[in-house]
Amino acid sequence: MNETLLNKVIYQIYPRSFMDSNNDGIGDIQGIISKLDYIKTLEVDYIWLSPIYKSPNFDNGYDISSYFEINEEFGTMEDFHQLIEESKKRDIKIIMDLVINHTSWEHEWFKLSKDINSKYHNYYIYKDGINKSKKNIKGDVPNNWTSFFGGSAWEYDDITSKYYLHLFAKEQPDLNYDNEEVYNETVKVIKFWIDKGVSGFRCDVINLLGKTDYSNGKFKGGLTGYDKYVSTHKSHKILRRLQEEVFGPKKILTIGETVFSTVKDANIFTNKKALELDMIFSFEHMEIDAIFLKWFHRKVRFKRLINVLAKWQTEVKQNAIYFENHDQPRSISRWFKKYDERQAKLLGLLLFSLKGTTFIYQGEEIGMTNYPFSTFDEIRDIESKNVYEILTKNFKVPKKSAFKIIKKVSRDNARTPMQWENELNASFSGAEPWINVNKNLSYINVLNEINDSNSTLNFYKKLIKFKHENNILKYGDFRLNKVNNKYAIIERIYQNKVLGFIFNFTGKKTKLVLDFDILFTTNSSLKENKNFLLPYEGLVYQRKKNINDEI
Ligand code: TEU
Ligand code: CA
C-alpha cells in the first residue's frame, strides 16, 4: 500500500469541454490555465488531463496520430509548458492520459504499416481472413473477437488484403506488443512527457496490451474474445517491465484503466512486491445498473452499489475511487433521477467516505447532470453512433427505441461543457460549443455555487479538506456497518477510533438514535442533538470506543 496516495484527490479535465479561450467552441489549454485558480480553490493535488495529443478526434483524442505533438485545437507545446509552470506555482501536479493500446489510423506508423515490407507492418496486428479471401465477406474475419464499440474487432484493409485488429473503433488500430520495437517506441513516448514535467499517467485500457494468441475466444459481458486479451500474463509482464524500467525510477504515478478487472486482478496489478500500477480503476460499481450490457438498464439498488464498493474496499488495498469520468453518465442522473442538490451532496459524501485516492470529474463538484438529448443529431460520441447503427441496421431496432437506449447511457452525457456561469453557453465559450450545453446551466453553475455556502461545490471543498486532514479517513479500515436499499452506514476505523457515515438514500425524513459526536452533515444548518435524518441527508459522526457496537 502506498500510504502517501491515500489522502490525495485528483481532478479530471476533459479538455474539449472545460474552457474555451479563443471562442472556437472547443475547450483548450489556455482555457485550462485561465481556470487554474478555480481548481486551486478546490485544493486538489493533481489534475488528470484526458488526451491532448495530436488526433483526428474520431474518439476525441483517444486516437492519437502523434504522441509528441499537441492537438492544434488545444494549443501549442508552448501552451503546455505554460500549463505545467502555472500548475507548479499552485502546487498542482499534472497527470497525462497515456493511450498506448492503439494509435489513430492516421498515425504515421499505421500509414507506413500498409507496406508489408516495411518494419511498421509489424507494429500492428494484421491477419488473413479465415478463407484468405480478398473480400470482406461476413464471417471471413480472422477470429470471433468483437470490438468494445460493437461489431467485429477486425477491419479489412484493401491495400494489404489483410484484416487489422481494432479492439475499439476501426479508426483505432491496436499496436502489436509482441514486437519489441513497439515497446521501445512506447518507452520513448513516456520519457518525453516525463521530461516535460508530468508527474503521472492514467493508462488507457492498459490491461489489453498483451494478446495471448489469435484464436477464437470466449464470450462475456457482451464481448467475444476477452479471455485472449483482458489482463493476460503478457499484459502483466509488459506493465512490470514499464514499472521497473521507466515509471519506478522516476517515481511516476500510474493509474491503470483496467476493463473487466476483478479484485484478484487488482491485487496483482498493485502488488507492491511486483508492482505494475499504483492503482486501478475498476468497473464493477459502474455495472450495478446494467443488465448484461451497459445499454440495458435495470433499476438502481443502493444495496447493490454499496455492496460492490464494500467488496473492493475490503479486498483491495489500494483503490482509485470514482463515480464519474468522461465515459460514464453523470452519477446523479444515473443513481437518482432528477437533479436534487441534496442527492449531489449525498453522493459526494459517499465518494469521500471510501478509502483510497479520490477522483473528481469536472462538473461533478457542482452536481452536473445528464443532458436531455431530444434528437440523434445532438449525439457526438463514436461509441454511441456505432452502437446506434448496429441496433438499427443489424438488429432492426426502430430508430426511436434505439435512440432511447443510447441517450441515457451515451458518454456524451459527461461531455457537455463545464457550466461556469448563468450566461451564454455557460461562459464556456463565446461561440457555439462543439456539443450542446446542458439546459440547467441557469441553476447548476460554478458562480452560483461559489456564492452559496450550502452549495454542492462548497460541500466538495469541505470534503477535500477533510480528506487531507483526517487520519481516520486516510488510514482507517473500511467496515460496512449496515446496508439496505434505503440506508447505509459505513465506518472507518483507525487506532480504536471510529469515523462513521450514515446515508439516507430516501426522500423521507428518518428517525435517528445516535449519541455520538456529529461532525457535520450534508445539510449545513446542523442542529445539536440531532434525532432525525432529513431526506437524502448524509451525516458524519465520530466515536471513540466500543468499535464493535452495532448502531
Ligand atoms: O475506455 C475504455 C472502455 O472500455 C470504456 O470505458 C468505454 O468507454 C466504453 O464504455 C465501452 O463500452 C477508454 C477511454 O476512457 C475511452 O474514452 C476510449 O474511448 C477508449 O478507452 C479507447 O481508447
Ligand atoms: Ca478553443
Q: What does the pLDDT look like over 254-308, one tens digit per residue?
A: 999 999 999 999 999 999 999 999 999 999 999 999 887 888 888 899 999 999 9
Using DSSP, state whether 492 is helix, strand or coil.
Answer: strand
On whether both 226 and 323 belong to a single domain, the answer is: yes
For the chain, state the CA radius of gyration: 24
Task: Determine whether the shortest distance from the Cβ of 321 to ligand 1 is under 6 A.
Answer: no
* From 48, 146, 204, mutation site for ligand 1 pocket: most ligand atoms within 8 A of C-beta: 204
Q: Give 163-179 pLDDT, tens digit per residue.
A: 999 999 999 999 999 99
Confidence of residue 1 (pLDDT cuts 50, 70, 90): confident
The yes-or-no verdict on residue 430 having pLDDT over 80 is yes
Tracing cell 470482406 back to the chain, one arrives at 136
Q: Which long-range contacts (C-beta less than 8 Å, at least 24 apart) are formed by 425-429? A: 428/17, 428/18, 428/19, 428/20, 428/27, 429/20, 429/23, 429/24, 429/25, 429/26, 429/27
* Atom 1 in ligand 1: residue holding the nearest Cα: 205
* From 57, 64, 167, 205, mutation site for ligand 1 pocket: most ligand atoms within 8 A of C-beta: 205
Task: Determine whether the shortest distance from the Cβ of 475 to ligand 1 is under 6 A.
Answer: no
Percent of the chain with pLDDT over 70: 96
Confidence of residue 529 (pLDDT cuts 50, 70, 90): low
On whether both 189 and 320 belong to a single domain, the answer is: yes
Out of 31-40, 110-119, 503-512, 524-533, least confident range: 524-533
Task: Determine whether the shortest distance from the Cβ of 205 to ligand 1 is under 6 A.
Answer: yes
Average pLDDT over residues 386-396: 94
Task: Determine whether the shortest distance from the Cβ of 59 to ligand 1 is under 6 A.
Answer: yes
Residue 80 Cα to ligand 2 midpoint, Å, equals 14
Taking the C-alpha atoms of residue 298 and residue 289, their distance in angstroms, rounded to an integer, is: 5
Q: Which of 20, 63, 257, 364 is catalytic?
A: 257
Residue pair 201/252 in contact (Cβ under 8 Å)? The answer is yes
Q: Give 456-474 pLDDT, tens digit per residue.
A: 999 999 999 999 999 999 9
Between the CA of residue 184 and those of 98, 123, 190, what are the distances in Å?
15, 11, 10
Out of 225-239, 282-296, 338-352, least confident range: 282-296
Note the pTM of the prediction, 2 decimals: 0.97
Taking the C-alpha atoms of residue 231 and residue 29, their distance in angstroms, rounded to an integer, is: 34
Residues 6 or more apart in contact with residue 261 via CB below 8 angstroms: 207, 230, 231, 269, 280, 282, 283
Residue 470 lies in a domain: no
For CA atoms 534, 535, 541, 547, the dihedral sign is: positive
Residue 62 Cα to ligand 1 midpoint, Å, equals 9
Q: What is the pLDDT of residue 401?
A: 95
Residue 276 lies in a domain: yes
Residue 50 Cα to ligand 2 midpoint, Å, equals 16
Residue 550 lies in a domain: no
Task: Determine whether the shortest distance from the Cβ of 204 to ligand 1 is under 6 A.
Answer: yes
156: left (phi over 0), alpha (psi -120 to 50) or beta: beta
Ligand nearest to the CA of 329: 1
Q: What is the pLDDT of residue 528?
A: 59
Q: What is the pLDDT of residue 530?
A: 74
Q: Which residues pair with 201 in a beta bridge?
A: 96, 254
Residue pair 447/270 in contact (Cβ under 8 Å)? The answer is no
On whether both 337 and 433 belong to a single domain, the answer is: yes
Q: Which atom of ligand 1 lies at the shortest distance from residue 283's CA? A: 6
Q: What is the pLDDT of residue 174?
A: 98
On whether both 450 and 531 belong to a single domain, the answer is: no
The yes-or-no verdict on residue 526 having pLDDT over 80 is no
Q: Which atom of ligand 1 lies at the shortest distance from residue 328's CA? A: 10
Q: Which atom of ligand 1 lies at the shortest distance from residue 168's CA? A: 22
On whether both 236 and 298 belong to a single domain, the answer is: yes
Which CATH number do you get for residue 509? Answer: 2.60.40.1180
Q: Which ranges of 322-481 does DSSP label H, i.e. alpha helix?
A: 331-335, 341-353, 382-389, 399-409, 446-450, 456-469, 471-475
Residues 6 or more apart in contact with residue 498 via CB below 8 angstroms: 472, 491, 492, 542, 543, 544, 547
Residue 549 lies in a domain: no
Buried b (16+ CB within 10 A) or exposed e, 392-428: beeeebeeeebbebbbbbbbbbbbbbbbbeeeebbbb
Taking the C-alpha atoms of residue 165 and residue 163, their distance in angstroms, rounded to an integer, is: 7
Residue pair 415/330 in contact (Cβ under 8 Å)? The answer is no
On whether both 226 and 331 belong to a single domain, the answer is: yes
Instruction: Quote the mean pLDDT of the chain.
Output: 95
Q: Which ranges of 55-205 does DSSP label H, i.e. alpha helix?
A: 77-89, 108-113, 180-195
Residue 76 Cα to ligand 1 midpoint, Å, equals 26
Residue 88 Cα to ligand 1 midpoint, Å, equals 30
Q: What is the pLDDT of residue 343?
A: 97
Task: Determine whether the shortest distance from the Cβ of 259 to ligand 1 is under 6 A.
Answer: yes
Helix (H) or strand (E) holding 356: none
* Residue numbers of the domain that contains 230: 3-101+180-373+414-463
Using DSSP, state whether 412 is helix, strand or coil.
Answer: helix
Task: Determine whether the shortest distance from the Cβ of 62 to ligand 1 is under 6 A.
Answer: yes
Q: Which atom of ligand 1 lies at the shortest distance from residue 101's CA? A: 23
Residue 188 Cα to ligand 2 midpoint, Å, equals 29
Confidence of residue 549 (pLDDT cuts 50, 70, 90): low
Which CATH number do you get for residue 13? Answer: 3.20.20.80
Q: Give 187-219 pLDDT, tens digit per residue.
A: 999 999 999 999 999 999 999 999 999 999 999
Residue pair 260/235 in contact (Cβ under 8 Å)? The answer is no
C-alpha atoms less than 13 angstroms from C-alpha of 499 in its C-beta half-sphere: 22
Q: pLDDT higher for 262 or 496?
A: 262
Nearest to 166 by CA among 145, 195, 188: 145
The yes-or-no verdict on residue 541 having pLDDT over 60 is yes
Q: Give 55-93 pLDDT, tens digit per residue.
A: 999 999 999 999 999 999 999 999 999 999 999 999 999
Task: Determine whether the shortest distance from the Cβ of 99 to ligand 1 is under 6 A.
Answer: yes
On whether both 404 and 483 belong to a single domain, the answer is: no
Active site residue 257: yes
The yes-or-no verdict on residue 550 having pLDDT over 60 is no
Q: What is the pLDDT of residue 25?
A: 98
Taking the C-alpha atoms of residue 316 and residue 1, their distance in angstroms, rounded to an integer, is: 10
Nearest to 419 by CA among 429, 408, 407: 429
Domain boundary at 386, 409, 432, which?
Answer: 409
Which CATH number do you get for residue 134? Answer: 3.90.400.10
Residue 188 lies in a domain: yes
Residue 327 Cα to ligand 1 midpoint, Å, equals 6
Residue 302 lies in a domain: yes
The total domain count for the chain is 4
Confidence of residue 512 (pLDDT cuts 50, 70, 90): confident
C-alpha cell at 259: 476493463
On whether both 79 and 162 belong to a single domain, the answer is: no
Residue 484 lies in a domain: yes
Domain boundary at 174, 189, 216, which?
Answer: 174
* Atom 4 in ligand 1: residue holding the nearest Cα: 259
Ligand nearest to the CA of 384: 1
On whether both 392 and 507 belong to a single domain, the answer is: no
DSSP state string for 503-538: EE-SSS-EE----SEEEEESSS-PPSS--EE-TT-E
* Atom 5 in ligand 1: residue holding the nearest Cα: 327
> Would you tell me the crossing angle of helices 382-389 and 399-409 to the nearest 10 degrees?
150
DSSP state string for 262-317: -HHHHHHHT-GGG-S-SEEE--GGGSTTEESEEEEE----HHHHHHHHHHHHHH-S
Domain boundary at 174, 202, 229, which?
Answer: 174
On whether both 342 and 274 belong to a single domain, the answer is: yes
Q: How far apart are the first and last CA of the chain?
A: 30
Q: Give 127-160 pLDDT, tens digit per residue.
A: 999 886 656 566 689 999 999 998 999 999 999 9
Please report, for the chain, how many H helices and E strands are present, in that order.
16, 24
Q: Which of 45, 63, 140, 204 is catalytic?
A: 204
Taking the C-alpha atoms of residue 381 and residue 439, their distance in angstroms, rounded to an integer, is: 19
On whether both 288 and 239 belong to a single domain, the answer is: yes
Residue 189 Cα to ligand 1 midpoint, Å, equals 21
Active site residue 204: yes
Q: From edge to edge, which strands make up the β-sheet containing 357-361?
A: 279-281, 253-257, 200-203, 93-98, 46-49, 9-13, 357-361, 320-321
Taking the C-alpha atoms of residue 98 and residue 62, their distance in angstroms, rounded to an integer, is: 9
Residue 121 lies in a domain: yes
> Would you tell me the crossing angle of helices 456-469 and 341-353 to the nearest 10 degrees?
10
On whether both 218 and 331 belong to a single domain, the answer is: yes
Q: Give 317-332 pLDDT, tens digit per residue.
A: 999 999 999 999 999 9
Percent of the chain with pLDDT over 90: 89
Ligand nearest to the CA of 411: 1
Ligand nearest to the CA of 62: 1
